[in-house]
Amino acid sequence: MLNHRFVTALFAISIGLVFLLCAIGSTAFYLWQIILLLAYLTIEFLGAYFIGLNFHLKSVNHLDKTKNQIALTFDDGPCTPQTLAVLDTLKKHQVKATFFVIGKNITGNESVLKRTVEEGHSIGSHSYSHHFWIDLWSAKKLETDIQQSLDSIKKVTGEDTKLFRPPYGVTTPNFAYVLKKLNLTSIGWNVRSYDTSTSDLNKILERVLSQTKNGSVILLHDRLNIMPELLDKLIPALKERQFEFVTLS
């Protein structure tokens, strides 16, 4: 499978070969240089954007596909009252989930995070800032941000977490370096609900149900007002298919 190191090495070799051919007058070096560079940048972009490709780092994108287990995961909390409503709904259906929290959102929502842990759900980091340009940050700045989120979680829950979901699902070599240094496991998904792109519950429900299979990790957002109503429809439908809900801890 393609990864960042392999593609970078292949690009360097190709550039060297083109330069050699140019030296003996066999090709237009500058034209091929541009073509190779564009191809390299395109592959790097796709590898960064699609976490399931495991291009820059290896993520857990699904569970054991031989078992009828699935995982509900929620990003961007904790929020009041949205996360509380999601917790109420999960409790009603007796389902456990994994919440990837943004560190800065913990302030003022400490009781929400405490309740999440007390009710048996797993917690992971979703960075401290969830900054729009976080994937372009230096490794040092990225490490500071992620460590701050881990400290914020531990301060409230008293527990360490080894789970991390990259903001926007974007991965880079710096993320790979920092996560390895902090001994964190990157968590992706293989069922994306696109619940932030539409408020049409039926469309979201249809999309998730059509894609969910054994071992699916489902991406949702607990900050959305529509989430409790969606879960009231989604969870019973998944239970009818005999899926067991597990956390990623």
| Catalytic machinery residues | 75, 221
Contact 225, 83 (CB under 8 A): no
Region for 242 from its dihedrals, namely left if φ exceeds 0, alpha if ψ lies in -120 to 50, beta otherwise: left
Tell the burial category of 3 from Cβ atoms under 10 Å away from its Cβ (0-12, 13-18, 19+). Answer: middle
Assess whether the previous peptide bond of 236 is cis (omega < 30° from 0): no
Region for 95 from its dihedrals, namely left if φ exceeds 0, alpha if ψ lies in -120 to 50, beta otherwise: beta
At 240, which helix (H) or strand (E)? Answer: helix 227-240
